[in-house]
Amino acid sequence: MEYKFVSNLKKYRQLANLTQEELAEKVLVRRETIVRLEAGKYNPSLKLAIDISRALQAPIEEIFVFE
């Protein structure tokens, strides 16, 4: 079964007034990883999803949605 992955990362990153580079530094990944996550082309590991959720102070299930 194929699940649709929707990323609201860009919206939440912008609400937190962070650039892609700043968010990448906070969660210890490359900016390219943030670009791919925002485009919905990459599913984050659970640890990365939690780190991003904490950095943006938003629930994981609102940032990353599996339909």
Question: Position 42: which residue type?
Answer: Y
Q: State residue 10's pLDDT score.
A: 98
Q: State residue 61's pLDDT score.
A: 95
Q: State residue 1's pLDDT score.
A: 64
pLDDT above 90 for 4: no
pTM of the predicted structure, to 2 decimals:
0.91
What own/partner pairs with CB < 8 Å and gap ≥ 24 does 51-56 have?
A: 51/26, 51/27, 52/9, 52/23, 52/27, 55/16, 55/18, 55/23, 55/26, 55/27, 56/12, 56/13, 56/15, 56/16, 56/18, 56/23
Nearest to 35 by CA among 48, 49, 21: 21
pLDDT digits (tens, 9 = 90+) for 15-50: 999 999 999 999 999 999 999 999 999 889 999 999
Q: From CA 14, how far away is CA 20, in angstroms rounded?
A: 9
